A and B are shown apart, each in its own frame.
Chain A
Amino acid sequence: MGGTGTTSMSPREGPESLLGMVAARAAEHPDQRLYSMFESADGPAGSITAATLHRQVLGVGCHLADTLAPGSRVLLLLPPGRAFVLGFLGCVAAGLVPIPAAPPSRARLRQSLLPLARILADCQPRAILSTEALATATMAGIEASDPLLSIPWHRLNDAVRRDGGNWVPPPVDARQPAFLQYTSGSTMAPRGVVVTHANLLANLATIQRAFATTSQDHAVVWLPPHHDMGLVGGLLTPLHGGFAVTLLTPQEFVQSPVRWLRAITQAGGTISGGPDFAYRMCVERVRDDQLDGLDLSSWRLAFTGAEPVSAGTLRAFGERFAPVGFRPSAFYPCYGLAESTLFVSGGVSGRGPTVTPLSRLGLSTGVAATPVDADDVRALVSNGAVVGDDTMLLIVDPQTHTECARGEVGEIWVRGPSVAAGYFGQPDLSRERFAATTAEGDGPYLCTGDLGCLVDGQLYVTGRLKDTLIVDGRTLDAHDVEEAIGPAIHADRQGLTAALSVTASGHERMVVVQEVGRAAVAGAAALTGEIYAVVAERFGVRPDDVVLVPIGSLPRTTSGKLRRAEAARLLLAGELRRLGQGL
């Protein structure tokens, strides 16, 4: 180990900063392997100890500080794993504002550059931090006029070689941005959430409390680090709590979902999770013969969030993996969003999920009520309650801004130290979304855009505000309609359903778009009939139109979620290829 002072803490590196945490870990347990790569057939496992992490973070910070003034924005084009960890923390150490983003993909270069161009235009970073290999490959594949080339590129390979032992990092101002989190939301325009150091520290403390972490925990993470869940929940929560992480790449997980479970088995993982789709993938894609050798008994907290948590997924996963030691009581459904750093609410660790059958019809009229019969049941998984007394959560009527009565569905509003400073460069939108006040003048609150209700003090997220369909004076939740249709018509698992509200010549129309496989084309007429019937029966309304399209036609986010606004646009523009008509 080179350099001096790597294990001593200067007053500027108090534990109340990310760099302070790195220093503290290095001081306590210099040889602890904080971040390790999962050893798969693909390559050797590498790991980084606390002391090395501290030394290299200082090296990267010192290198970047040569040419970049504190406060400069730096776009991170880094692969997940050690490179991302070092690049992100190095930026933070130098007082720079890192902007995590999905790095360019060689095979899909053009598609992967589009979101980057939007981020560049939105926040004009001063520099790009990448790796030698990724930089070389990207530069070889892009036009000389590409805006990515108008900004200086820094290579992490050079930066980690620097000896930052005598470098004095700039002081941290808690009110300043720690990073910009671009949301992968369903809309076109990117929004960079400004997360301050104070927000980040507050949220990390909240998560530590919610997850009841100890230094004996071991996290297993495959989540992409450029998303809030992967970054804050996956990489920084363990650093804050002083426990180790085993990392897989998102693609390693998607290529073969059993690798996630093998990594947990191998590492004795105690904390791991992801969105609902990840658990569903395991249920559908882990073969019986792959169960051999799995041992999930160490897994005490399986968080699930960022997507509607499906009771069906939890049950199926629990049943499938109980024989290899998975405990359903480990499930930890939670609610959060980048605008509140990450975490807003969750259950009590170790207690398992609370599933409550509510009336579908009732929810469509905005009330949590007891179902009238089995068909009327919408089994909702509780997203828990806020953790700690510094965060407040309200359910608010989005029109009148008055607080809803208990059991009424309204927009979820959040107030507390984790609520971010706003969207970068958008003061008006930020005021509207991050500093709302109730009709009683109480505030400021973050308007999450999510709909939910409180039942017995537990939050149930029911849908998205903007995904509301107004049909014949009824307010329906698009998710709810979509959830009802798919299983009722035995749609292909691959096929998305979109319940859309499109305004054509001033008239709001409800259109259901269903993706179908080729095999279903023959029965197209019958299928559309069934969809009309299901919606009529369950929701008492008739869609203005039902459209069948080939699987893959509907626009999705990178995580496979329907981009509803974009789908509506394509539909209006006539850009969706209809099946079953003239075929």
Chain B
Amino acid sequence: MEPPPDTPPLSEEDIAAWLQERIAELLEVQPSVVGQHDRFETYGLGSSDAVFLTGDLSELVGRPLSATLAWEFLSIADLAAYLAAVLRGEIELDDDRIDWDLDARFESPHQ
């Protein structure tokens, strides 16, 4: 999952292009139909697709990602800008996942 240490981090453009390609694949349309600045909800991406996308994306960027990430950003461009900044180390990955996943690791004191 971790990218090799020597490769430069993925750029905003790389991530955006990857997302465009991947979403087009999920929708079974041409990538050109998927606009990088279109709001996510206009694609009609199903919720399980949106979650699945975060799984693939997490492999791409080599970090665990929240399953609801796609709901937290407006568009491909938005999400790509955020992730690129995370990869450049400029911002921390917001890993405060109060959702299905985080609390599943609920640790109890007597363990």
Contacts and interface: CB of A to CB of B under 8 A. Distances in A.
Interface of A: 2, 37, 41-44, 46, 48, 52, 55-56, 78-83, 86, 103, 105-108, 131, 133-134, 136-138, 156-157, 160-161, 247, 249-252, 254-257, 281, 285, 492-494, 515, 517-519, 550-553, 556, 560
A550 B44 CA distance: 7
21 contacts: A56-B110, A79-B99, A79-B100, A82-B106, A103-B100, A105-B99, A134-B98, A138-B98, A251-B67, A251-B100, A251-B101, A254-B51, A256-B55, A256-B56, A494-B28, A519-B30, A519-B33, A550-B44, A551-B27, A551-B46, A556-B46
Given A80-B100, A105-B68, A43 B105 contact: yes
A83 B102 CA distance: 11
Nearest to A490: B28
Nearest to A550: B44
A79 B110 contact: no
Given A41-B1, A518-B33, A552 B45 contact: yes
B58 interface: yes
B99 A161 contact: no
Which range holds the interface residue count of chain B? 35 or more
B111 interface: yes
Contact of A81 (B28, B48, B106): B106
B46 A42 contact: no
Given A56-B110, A131-B106, A254-B51, 17 more contacts: A37-B104, A48-B111, A79-B104, A81-B106, A82-B108, A83-B104, A103-B103, A107-B72, A157-B108, A251-B51, A254-B48, A255-B55, A256-B56, A281-B48, A494-B28, A519-B33, A552-B45
Contacts of B33: 518-519
B109 A160 contact: yes
Contacts of B26: 494
**Shortest beta-carbon contacts, A-B, top 7:** A552-B44, A255-B55, A107-B68, A79-B103, A137-B98, A81-B104, A256-B55
Contact of A249 (B27, B68, B104): B104
A134 B106 CA distance: 10
B36 to A, nearest CB: 15
B107 interface: yes
Contacts of B44: 494, 515, 550-553
Interface string B38-79: 000001111111011011101100001011110110000000
Nearest to A519: B29
